[in-house]
Structure 1
Amino acid sequence: MFGDLPFSSYEYVEEDHEADMRRIADDPATQEWWTHTDPCQVRIAEERVPRARWQPVVEVWHLA
C-alpha cells in the first residue's frame, strides 16, 4: 500500500509481452505522448524490483 498515491494497472492477454512493449515503444505517437506524460510519473520510494520502471503493488480493491 502506498498511502493515497493513485496508480493504475492493466491485464495483458496476448502471447509476447516483451515484443509488444518494444513495438509500442517504437511508435512515434507513443514517444510523443510520453514526452507529455513522463513528468507525471513519480517513482515510489519502496522499490520491490530494483531499477524497474514499473513496480508491483498489492491490489486493494477491484472495480469490475
Structure 2
Amino acid sequence: MWQPQSPTEPPKSPPGVEGAPPPRKRNPGRRFGQVVKLKPECADAYKACHAKIWPQVAKQIKDCNMEDYSIWYDDKTGLLFGSFKYLGYDFAGDMHRMAENPKVREWWEMTDSFQESLVDGATSSEAGEPSWWRSMEEVFYLA
C-alpha cells in the first residue's frame, strides 16, 4: 500500500501515477450582461467618474475575479449596458467580498444616484437583492 513520504523527502507519486497532478484548469468564465437607466441630467457626471474610476474600486473588481468589464451608454434611451466575464469559482462569495469594501459601497452610493433601476423593488446596489442592475440573458455569442 502507498504511504505518504516523510516531510524531509521530496513528494513521490503513488504507484501507477506519473508526475505531479495536473494543474487546476482555469475557469473558462461566465459572461454577464446587465442594464440600468441613466438619469439624463447625470450623463456627464457619470461618464466623468468612470473616466477616473477609484483605484480601490478597480482593484476590488479584479480581486473578485471579474474581467473584461465594460459599460455602454445609449443617449436616445438613457440605457446603460454593462458586461463582464466572471472567472472565479464562488460568484456569491466574491460579490459578498465586493460589498464588504467600504470604498465600493461609497462608489455604488454615488453611481446609484445617477441611475434609475429597472428592477421592481430594487433600492440600491448595496442592498443586494433584488439587484439594482437588471440581469439580461445572453442569446448569442461568437468567440
Please indicate the TM-score interval, normalised by the length of the shorter structure: 0.5 to 0.7
Task: Identify the match of residue 135 of structure 2 among 50, 56, 59.
Answer: 56
CA distance change for structure 1 residues 56 and 31 in 2, over 3 Å: closer, same or farther? closer
Task: Identify the match of residue 97 of structure 2 among 13, 23, 31.
Answer: 23
Which is strand-richer, 1 or 2? 2
Listed as ranges, the gaps of 5+ residues in structure 1 are: none
Task: Identify the match of residue 10 of structure 1 among 54, 75, 84.
Answer: 84
Paired with 2:80 and 2:140, the residues of 1 have a C-alpha distance of 13
Which is helix-richer, 1 or 2? 1
TM-score, with structure 2 as normaliser: 0.32
Residues 5-62 of structure 1: per-residue CA shift (max 9 Å, x gap): 22112111110001101111001111111121111232226x6xxx631322255887
| Larger RCO (CA within 8 A; separation ≥ 6) | 1
Q: Which runs of 4+ in 1 moved over 2 A?
A: 54-62
Deviates more, 1:22-31 or 1:51-60: 51-60
Higher gyration radius (CA): 2
Paired letter, 1:55: R
Paired with 2:102 and 2:83, the residues of 1 have a C-alpha distance of 23
Aligned length: 58
Paired letter, 2:95: M
TM-score, with structure 1 as normaliser: 0.62
Listed as ranges, the gaps of 5+ residues in structure 2 are: 1-34, 36-75, 121-128
